[in-house]
Amino acid sequence: MPNSVTPSTHPPRHESHLFTIRVWLEEREDGKKEWRGQIRNVTTGNARYFRDWCALIAYLQQATAQSRGEAFAQVCSPCQTI
């Protein structure tokens, strides 16, 4: 039976971004623990480190705004450390 090729029914691809996010719990000098993290753009290899969730969100907002040619406006404010 010959293989038949069918046209893709998927919609056209839109611009996308691919990141990996690594988070870990780290003990501070005062004995308290805080979340730390790293976000890496898989395409470019660029990495950023963060100590609170707002920094992570701000980076994602900045990266996606730049690709759309928009001005960056931080919407995660005020931010609380989790």
pLDDT surpassing 80 at residue 14: no
pLDDT at 16: 85
Q: Of 22, 25, 67, 24, which is closest to residue 44 (Cα–Cα)?
A: 67
Whole-number pLDDT of residue 62: 87
Q: Of 51, 29, 57, 27, give the one whose Cα is nearest residue 38.
A: 51
Start-to-end CA span in the chain (Å):
59
Domain boundaries, the chain: 19-67
0.85 exceeded by pTM = no
Q: What is the dihedral of CA 78, 59, 23, 54, to 10 degrees?
A: 0
> Tell me: the pLDDT tens digits for 34-43?
999 999 999 9
Q: Which residue has the higher pLDDT, 41 or 6?
A: 41
Q: From CA 48, how far away is CA 45, in angstroms rounded? A: 10
